[in-house]
Structure 1
């Protein structure tokens, strides 16, 4: 929200109080507390009728500084709050900084907040001898707007050449400089500035991130109120934020996800191809079986089948009852589908239509959200007489999950947790939560509840969702998909931008509707999108009113789907390791170029390509003709599909057929490729081939191939001169090494030596 008219003047009717001096600094049990009057204090009389701003600094974990700006501290705080982990480490408060200098500091690991205590207000956030960002004399503000609302704002400086990223899944430019963003979940598709997944966290390529720990609406002015500052503001009397230091963007994300929660481990089968009934299409068991058998007949591996909304009766969503006219034998049907080796996903949402048999029960027992008058909140959008389950009520949560458990007992494996964005603010929550804060936070409670049920019923590492809405911390409950996009190249590109922006907001996995959701793509769009979708972390064929089976387009679409599905299955030894990094370190599987190459300024604004893990560069093709331009970082890269070499740093223009795209292997890579192409969940080390790409003389690396059920298998690769040696002490199955076209095979533990 903007408060000024240009740089010098406030907007009409706006008043602003700013810290003008520091009255006192206090070491409060490891917290640095600063009392800052809103005018210089020259005499005792200046303290009368004078507002005071209290700013406190603490260290929840190393390399993180928490900042709390407060005006009036007596306001009731009903919650909810983001869960922030605390693991205090090496921190200290120093008063003064050095002998003869006016100032104070709080140090957290390598990061310090240095507060000037003489002259105007200034706080520098310093790490490794340099200032990362600062709060200056015009930054902190306690604001009153013409409607009488109180706000607290902060403005942190943006350096020359600095780029900011994140703020959730945003479909505009990847670099957020020059954008105004409101953190407020909306069901707005992928073609506007609204988003399903709003996250009040941004990452800077200057070595820091900022997390504004407010579930309610947070307004960001990224170089738009003042072009050299990022402003963020909330309604109320308090603003809490955290500055996070990292020597690299990956390190910042790792620290941020340590603070707000790491992505869970997802099952191996979830990396296979998901096929949906689509939304409003006509289907029954015969249709479903024909789709599944059609995929098998065409040798396109399929891992998950998804039943979208109309598995339930119209006007009954959600009652969790299979439509008896269409699916008279759901248990038998699910058993028959599972016998084909498939997992089953079912669509759900957190709403209860008035016609549902659960509506009266929810009303009677107080499980539905109420209006201030005590009525059940309802409207007719989406479903007639729709009400909303109150997840702040433990009994309501248990009631809702009991319905889902019934589906799991029938044979469903996972859920598409749709919606969760249209959350009213003129309501009363069971636990007294602030309705403004619950608007975004509801998605967190909803997905958390369903994910925890799946973990309890299916086991750790077997839970997976297909979720649309989220906010900070929602990365703990994967997977998330990009929402309702159109079936065009432009929408394909905006979907990618949304996924890359989400990746820089702490989310480790991401998917999208292959071919687009709204409308029916022409065959060219479908084929280009298929290659992109099967080189994403998770891959789903889904749409609104048309089927997405490849043969609905043309024969070549079938070939493309088969080629890229099988390619992805063969890459599982590599992808499983990359997924482990998302879970263990908070580094996403799909990575914007700047995340993997922070020292290359050529990657700063690139948002039409990405790294899949650390070793594979993917550049989707956004044209029917196959023309594509992509950026290649330094080194000699190799196209995995045809073996052609491309050297960088430079932009490259190429033309690709539908069966191809730029898929480059990073120089110095040992890429493990699996022996199977028919499914994602297999023994990845059994028959694995280690493909070597442009290893420099002196190369010495360890490649780990994970296992779902046992210990990983490790291989050590060393190059000396013109020879390379690969050794494994724990291989228990055949494996091979490939350089160019030459392949050397081994059995179990031992070594392979070959020329390069």
Structure 2
């Protein structure tokens, strides 16, 4: 949200009060995190006692909830409106900072990170990583803004206007501005489908169901990562508005409604270090089951299907040697108008228990689609309404609308009894034989409602996705075990990475949409999410055979892979015979890579590093990697450059060193751009210098004994020796010592 009109003036209807000086600075042991620094910042420079009268101040508190992390709290009125922060499971008891006053400066040190506040005017708060200043808050950075009803700000609508879930515009805001250095780039802020580098953009943290071809996001995360060795989380699950070098071009501005703004600064110095500290504080993903890495095949959305259709798909895939791990039933496994009542439509699935047993006999897992709404026609609607399990309007009536399903209500997950009731239906499905759930929706969350626990609706709009997915994930953990629980979720906010997997939402069936889908996944990866997927071939419309084949190659070189669409089946033979061959090539390749991919997944659970990694994450010191969003690293060893052209021509960048094509064995010197032309059965897939890839012996399934028949593919260009760990799905592990110096070109 932009408050200023150029450098000197405010927009009409805006009044601003800025922290002008650090009037007094004192050390305290009474912050939320123990030891800290408190600063009184008057909104004018105090030259005499009279200046302290009728003068608002901003109170800024510095503390540290975990090593290498500093919390900054800016309050106009401490008792005023604040949405409250995110859960911080990694916070240290008693805090992790050392506070002191040194030459009248307030200093807070925690690990490699230091915050330093200078006394007097002008306002100057700086952050240092390993002694190097990385950013800071300067003159007119901390501000309290008041808006009149007709203030000329925020001319657009944030969120789904037609659905009535657009963000409100309150009358008071607090903002902070942090310096942007020369050449500094900003990443993250959730699953954003525009450019990977966020400089120059206005970004609103407000979940919406807008598709992948818009500025809206299903997964809005108020966390950004800088290439200068730090990250920042705005600790507010409500509406956060960012201006990233777009209003004040030398700064990143973030603002929240109300009286209080709280944010955390995370130390690097490397981007991986930032993500490790961020996910340590907000939570890391669990280990996801090995079977979930295999191909997921869907009925698609509005297609006609019954058990015979499903069985024919499975049998035809097997006959063509196309391994499938999970079969997914989309919405119409339930009767229309009844979603979501958790009952199989008896007209098409008269024997669900028998059908699920037969699918399990084919060595398949089963996923079913659900959402947090209940249509009025379902008997469950009246049951939930009578027990107070649905979100209500302020007058006490049940909130309902006709979008998606006629007269649907919204389950109130702030009510423990409602959550238990919802989970009870999921347990019944698990008892029938369902293995996992696709948790769709969770973004169109209304505002003019009351919640059971009294939550602020603006706080709940983004946070609802967390409660919804947590309710489902907890059931899977309880019923199937810690290592066998997995979702296929669309909506999320900060902390959602603890409930994988997430997928990219409704893309169109074009090469352009394939590219924007990749940008969304890379942006989400830099927001702390390790596991991610998308609809191979696109969701809306039907891809032509070329798009389907290119997308298949891309989709099977990621953490999770799913064939899914809207109005058409996505089994490969409906496109052409070559699509079958391409699917076979890349499913078999992924099965061979499972010892490597599964180990990278274990690394994600222990460090927070994503499986699909933007180039800047692996090569932060290579300036050419900073903007790359048409290629990625799969783990630390493999570079993937999907083909986004009909001709098969692809342009990509190899960092310095000796790279080897995993598919052909051809060796190439990096440190330059390359242009290649690929058929549908190929794409640029390069092992980095000195890479060691554990290579599995099976191509028929993802969950096998990786040590049985294992080989190590060792690539030239490395030095010294390294240890390579291979862990099987059963937990057996073996470490191999590899002498890289013995490998020649």
- TM class by shorter chain equals over 0.9
Deviations 1:586-628 (A, max 9, x none): 0000000000000100000000000000000000001121100
State the shift of 1:52 in Å: 1.1
| SS of 1:634 mapped into structure 2 | coil
Selected match of 1:93 from 79, 85, 99: 99
Structure 1: distance between partners of 2:494 and 2:658: 38
Task: Tell me if the contact between 2:82 and 2:259 (Cα under 8 Å) persists in the aligned partners.
Answer: no
RMSD, aligned α-carbons: 1.2
Partner SS for 1:199: strand
- Indicate conservation of the 8 Å contact 2:443/2:465, yes or no: yes
Q: How does 1:10-409 map to 2 (within 5 A)?
A: 10-29=10-29, 30-75=35-80, 79=84, 81-83=86-88, 85-87=90-92, 91-95=97-101, 97-98=102-103, 102-147=104-149, 149-409=171-431
Equivalence for 1:700:
721
CA deviations 1:569-593 (Å, max 9, x no partner) are 0001100111011111000000000
* Map of 1:748 onto structure 2: none
Written as runs of structure 1 = structure 2, the 5 A alignment for 1:474-623 is 474-623=496-645
Kept in 1, the 8 Å contact 2:722–2:740? The answer is no
CA distance in 2, matches of 1:45, 1:34: 20
Q: Residue by residue, what CA displacement relative to the aligned partner does 1:271-329 show, whole Å, maximum 9, x if unpaired? A: 00000000000000000000000100000000000000000000000011000000000
Question: Counterparts of 1:22 and 1:59 in 2: how far apart (Å)?
Answer: 20
The answer as to 2:738 corresponding to 1:717 is yes
Whether contact under 8 Å (1:82, 1:214) holds in the other structure is: no
| CA distance in 1: counterparts of 2:462 and 2:376, whole angstroms | 24
Gap change, CA 1:141 and 1:79, over 3 Å in 2 = closer
Contact residue 80 and residue 434 of structure 1 kept, 8 A: no
Contact 1:103 1:118 in 2 (8 A): no
Secondary structure of 1:41's counterpart equals coil
CA distance in structure 2 between the aligned counterparts of 1:325 and 1:53, rounded to whole angstroms: 64
- 1:129, CA displacement in angstroms? 1.9
1:75 Cα deviation from its structure 2 partner: 2.5
- Give the drift of 1:82: 3.8
SS at match of 1:200: strand
In structure 1, C-alpha distance between the alignment counterparts of 2:188 and 2:381, rounded to whole Å = 39
Distance in 2 between residues matched to 1:390 and 1:26, nearest whole Å: 44
**Cα distance, 1:671 vs structure 2:** 1.1
Asked whether the 8 Å contact 1:261–1:476 carries over to 2, the reply is: yes
| Distance in 1, Cα, partners of 2:88 & 2:455 | 15
Matches within 5 A, 1:720-735: 723=742
Q: Does the Cα contact within 8 Å between 2:212 and 2:504 map onto a contact in 1?
A: yes
Correspondent of 1:639 among 648, 657, 661: 661
Distance in 2 (CA, whole Å) between partners of 1:142 and 1:84 is: 30
Equivalent-residue separation in structure 2 for 1:79 and 1:141 (angstroms)? 19
Query: Alpha-carbon deviation of 1:695?
Result: 4.5
Q: Could you list the per-position Cα deviations for residues 657-688 of structure 1 after superposition, in whole angstroms to 9, with x for gaps in the alignment? A: 00000000011011110001110000011111
**What do the CA deviations read for 1:97-123 (whole angstroms, capped 9, x no partner)?**
24xxx4211111111110011221010
Q: CA deviation at 1:699?
A: 1.9
Shift of 1:77: 5.5
Gaps of 5+ in 2: 30-34, 150-169
Is 1:507–1:588's contact at 8 Å kept on the other side of the alignment? yes
Q: Deviations over 1:408-435 (max 9, x none)?
A: 0000000000000010000000000000
CA distance in 1, matches of 2:308, 2:265: 56
Whether the aligned pair in 1 keeps the contact of 2:129 and 2:269 (CA below 8 Å) is no
1: CA distance, partners of 2:670 / 2:682: 20
Deviates more, 1:373-382 or 1:257-266: 257-266
Aligned-partner Cα distance in 2 for 1:680–1:191: 32
Instruction: Determine the C-alpha separation between the residues in 2 that align with 1:392 and 1:163.
Output: 38
Deviation at 1:536, TM superposition (A): 1.1
Give the TM-score of the pair, scaled to structure 2.
0.95
TM-score for the superposition, normalised by structure 1 = 0.94
Superposition deviation, residue 76 in structure 1 = 5.8
